[in-house]
Homo-oligomer: A and B are copies of this chain.
Amino acid sequence: MTDFWNGSPALRQRLERVVAVIDSTIGSSDFPLRETAALSAEAGGKLLRPALLILGSSFGPGANAERIERLAAAMEILHIATLVHDDIIDEAPLRRGKPSLYATVGVKKAVLAGDWLFSRCFLLASEGPAPEGAAPEDSKGLARLIGAVCSAEISQDLEKYRYSASVRRYLRTIAGKTAALFSLALHAGATEAKAETGVTQALRRAGYDMGMAFQVIDDILDFESAEDVLRKPVGKDIAEGLCTLPLIYALQADRKGMDAILSRGMRPGKAVTPRAAVAAARRASELGGVERARADARRFTQRALAEIERLPASGSRDELMSLAERLLHRAY
Contacts and interface: CB of A to CB of B under 8 A. Distances in A.
Interface of A: 29-33, 82, 85, 88-89, 107-109, 111-116, 118-123, 125-128, 130, 135-137, 139-140, 142-147, 149-151, 153-155, 157-158
A143 B120 contact: yes
B136 A128 contact: yes
Contacts of A82: 115
Contacts of A107: 88-89, 107
- Chain A at the B interface: mostly helix, strand, loop or mixed? helix
A119 B146 contact: yes
A108 B89 contact: yes
Contacts of A128: 136
A140 B128 CA distance: 10
B88 A111 contact: yes
A158 B32 contact: yes
Contacts of A150: 31, 112-113, 115-116, 119
A126 B108 contact: no
Contacts of A29: 147, 151
Given A135-B136, A139-B126, A112 B147 contact: no
Nearest to A134: B136
Contacts of A119: 143-147, 150
A-B residue pairs, 5 tightest by C-beta: A119-B146, A122-B143, A126-B139, A116-B150, A123-B143
B139 A31 contact: no
Given A31-B151, A109-B154, 8 more contacts: A32-B158, A88-B111, A115-B146, A116-B154, A120-B143, A122-B146, A126-B143, A139-B139
Contacts of A137: 126
17 contacts: A32-B154, A89-B107, A109-B154, A112-B150, A115-B115, A116-B147, A116-B154, A118-B118, A118-B146, A119-B143, A119-B145, A119-B147, A122-B140, A122-B146, A123-B140, A130-B136, A135-B135
Contacts of A122: 122, 139-140, 142-143, 146
Contacts of A153: 112
Given A31-B150, A119-B144, A147-B119, A111 B126 contact: no
Most buried by B among A29, A136, A144, A155: A136
Contacts of A147: 29, 31, 116, 119-120, 123
